[in-house]
Structure 1
Amino acid sequence: MKRIKYLLPLFLVVVSLSGKKPDQVQYFHAPTFDAKHLENSFELVDFNDTIPNDTLFIVKNETGLIHSYFRNILTGVCIDGECRLLDITLHWTVTGRYLGFRLPQGEFLSKSEHEPFLKKDYERLHELLADPFSALGNYKIDELVPKVDENDVDGVTAATIPGVEDYIVEDAVYSTYTIWHIVHGNTRKLIENHTRENLQPSLLVEILDSKNNSDRVWGLENLPGELTRTTELEMKLFELIANEDPTISGKAIESISPAMLADEQKQLQLFSYFDNSSFSSQRKILNKLEKAPFLASTIEFRLAEKLSSLNGSMIKNVLDLFTIHQIKQVESEEIIAGLLDHENEFIARKAFQFLEKHPTDNKKIERQLRKHENRF
């Protein structure tokens, strides 16, 4: 180690004389959305952590939308009884997702025995920081390395506790832990709150249009109920119903408000996804239509036509929808009456219960009900 300590200043002198500077270490993931031009502003906030810094930088694009955030970190990381300054800038997307990090020119991160990070170590750190569900969130820093006898000659290189190796850079447990907790701690919560307070339709469209699914989920989960729904935003919400990810599809359906379904065309647009949706999403669509001010006659008839091909649980959902909106088409009533002869006792009973409570002047249906009244 003494040789390395003496060689490092010599290397810096050579670089200085040659007129070249060491490459700046920086790693970034794709942002939530691209921008042509970025401008920085800042706010003084209480991060409620041990970092002696109260400045959160807010990055906006050319139209004034929040694009990302960053924070300059200057703190000590103690390794083997000695502390080294951690000087790093951490970046988050507009949704609070880890975006990347940058070190000042000539700065580097250290491992045990103060070995500088190699390129593979920085790449590994970048990968680990992107995981918000890391096991590091379950530990305190003094729990990561087993306590050893201070007279043990191997004490400075003690292994980390079992199960944590997959979540740290090798021989850099303290640095990995410290940076991960800054990335996913109070700063992230403050960033998310700041974005929520500044949400507007155009920003939400950018978030929902992200190629990153966690960004999209964040946008759907944080959609303000009182927010004005622009045409562009509504189109994006409907578009996401067809997303292959069931989480995104389901949340997109849940984001459709009853006020939107006061428009018959929007009801039809929502229902257009029914046939190609999963069972779960189909139920969500029916639940949304229950909350609509009325049920479009076209949807009523199409659902009635599908009854014979649906399973018992879905038939119950459709009949519940029909009960709420009191169907009026004779064709729909007769299709439901046809279920009275269904071989599935559950389905036949549900049809009977529905028709028994549904007022009708259709004599044919009345005869069918009398025929089956002793059966149920």
Structure 2
Amino acid sequence: MIRLLIGILFILASAYDSAGQIRYFRTPTLPLKTDTTLAFLAVAEDSIANDTLFQMRSKEGFPVAYFRKIRTSVCFDNKCRLLKVTLFWNPTGRYLGYDLVKGEFLSKAEHKPFTLAEYERMSDVLADQFSPLATLAYAEIAPPKKPISKEEEVDGVSSATAKNVLDYVVEGAAYTTYKMWHVVYGPTQASVVALTEKSLSPEYVLALLESPDGSDKIWALNHSQGFVTSTPALQQKLVTFINGTNYNLTERAINALDTGPNSATWQAMLADNLTTKSYALQKLIVNKLKRVTSLDAQAKKSLAEGLKSPNSELVSTILDVFRQHNVADTETCRPIADLLISQNQFIAQKAFAYLEKLDLSDADIKAKLAQYAQRK
């Protein structure tokens, strides 16, 4: 059943299947079928009786999803109802979906079954990792009230749900919502992430970077350095995220680039962005080039072109890059010498300080240095 489920969850976003089973799913990370399912011991800090976390893997050995069968009481006002649901996570710990065994359903006060809209609402609520439910205590879901009669049912929610909570729960099922949300974002989520990290490889990170979900891409970029060995294919893929349309992705991709001996695969491509992108991106690029072990010749040429920028802070940072890498060739020093006539005295002085320490033979550069020294 689980193998069949994972095969169709990538087709259906949210629906009843042909057998009448209730299941709702979000956008998956990897459009791969499950080949094997492994069982792991889940953390016992969330009071859920079933302590097994299942990992579903593709034939490539990539984790594609996780699930845990939840059997727990939802209690309030000394009354409890059993919640039986299977929760799913994607490989990066993002909420993926839920399903119920055939014949099972979620219910509200007075045991009323959820409507179709309420099942969809539950999935939307569970997908919100930044929900205020994270800061609320179980007792804060409903305001204090006088003792209830035996005829009153609990949805947990016989007590009226606090008004400020209604925007974050399924109305009439506040305690069920609260319980499910905290399981999704509790210790099990951390276990999911830890298991995925153990399975990381350059090929798997490349697959994760193809996810249609932006948060998955961010997660993969954050795990592209320090978790896997860098490869030319991975480095080239990282450069594709440096386009200026999404600053967060761009910033994470730049940080993930390897600054070691293989950095020449991306340096020139990155430096070419200096004249076309925003200053915020230019600053990220220049600071990254400052940290490489060896500056590529084409990247150096592009940086020299960047000295023509009217942005004095960018020009100053480029000079810092050249100083960091002990750049002293004539071709690069000529545009630096052109800065000696800059109206910005700080830039002119910085260019002079840079050049006067070098053993230069170019007559034109020497003449410009002499002229600047006379004007000082």
Short-chain TM bin:
0.7 to 0.9
Q: For 1:228-250, what per-residue CA distance to the aligned partner results, in whole angstroms no more than 9, with x for missing partners?
A: 23343233222222373211111
Aligned to 2:173: 172
What RMSD, in angstroms, separates the aligned Cα atoms of the two structures?
2.5
Aligned to 1:135: 132
How far apart in 2 are the matches of 1:118 and 1:24?
14
| Structure 2 residue runs without a partner (length 5+) | 1-17
CA contact (8 A) 1:30 1:99 kept: yes
CA contact (8 A) 2:92 2:219 kept: yes
Q: How does 1:13-24 map to 2 (within 5 A)?
A: 23-24=20-21
| Alignment partner of 2:87 out of 80, 85, 90 | 90
1:83–1:202 CA distance, 2 compared to 1 (3 A): same
1:182–1:37 CA distance, 2 compared to 1 (3 A): closer
How far apart in 1 are the matches of 2:148 and 2:46?
34
What one-letter code is carried by the residue in structure 2 that aligns with 1:115? K
What one-letter code is carried by the residue in structure 2 that aligns with 1:277? K
How far apart in 1 are the matches of 2:194 and 2:187?
11
What one-letter code is carried by the residue in structure 2 that aligns with 1:130? A
How far apart in 1 are the matches of 2:364 and 2:102?
86
Aligned to 1:303: 303
Aligned to 1:351: 351
Aligned to 2:121: 124
How far apart in 2 are the matches of 1:96 and 1:138?
20
How far apart in 2 are the matches of 1:151 and 1:292?
69
Structure 1 SS opposite 2:105: coil
Identity among equivalent positions (%) equals 37
How far apart in 2 are the matches of 1:332 and 1:230?
31
Q: CA deviation at 1:348?
A: 2.3
CA contact (8 A) 2:312 2:347 kept: yes
What one-letter code is carried by the residue in structure 2 that aligns with 1:207? L
Aligned to 2:73: 76
Q: For 1:156-191, what per-residue CA distance to the aligned partner results, in whole angstroms no more than 9, with x for missing partners?
A: 754433432221111211011000000011000011
How far apart in 2 are the matches of 1:34 and 1:362?
60
CA contact (8 A) 1:326 1:358 kept: no
What one-letter code is carried by the residue in structure 1 that aligns with 2:330? V
Aligned to 2:10: none
Structure 2 SS opposite 1:164: helix
Aligned to 2:59: 62
| Structure 1 residue runs without a partner (length 5+) | 1-20
Structure 2 SS opposite 1:210: coil
Aligned to 2:212: 211
Aligned residue pairs, count: 355
How far apart in 1 are the matches of 2:180 and 2:126?
8
Aligned to 1:269: 269
Structure 2 SS opposite 1:35: coil
How far apart in 1 are the matches of 2:102 and 2:238?
43
Q: How does 1:306-345 map to 2 (within 5 A)?
A: 306-345=306-345
1:72–1:36 CA distance, 2 compared to 1 (3 A): closer
How far apart in 1 are the matches of 2:184 and 2:148?
36
How far apart in 1 are the matches of 2:148 and 2:40?
48
Q: For 1:105-131, what per-residue CA distance to the aligned partner results, in whole angstroms no more than 9, with x for missing partners?
A: 111112123222111111011001111
How far apart in 2 are the matches of 1:191 and 1:327?
47
How far apart in 2 are the matches of 1:207 and 1:330?
45
TM-score normalised by L of structure 2 = 0.86
Aligned to 2:285: 285
TM-score normalised by L of structure 1 = 0.86
CA contact (8 A) 1:337 1:368 kept: yes
What one-letter code is carried by the residue in structure 1 that aligns with 2:315? I
Q: For 1:191-230, what per-residue CA distance to the aligned partner results, in whole angstroms no more than 9, with x for missing partners?
A: 1011111211221111111111100111111234262233
CA contact (8 A) 2:34 2:56 kept: no
CA contact (8 A) 2:267 2:296 kept: yes
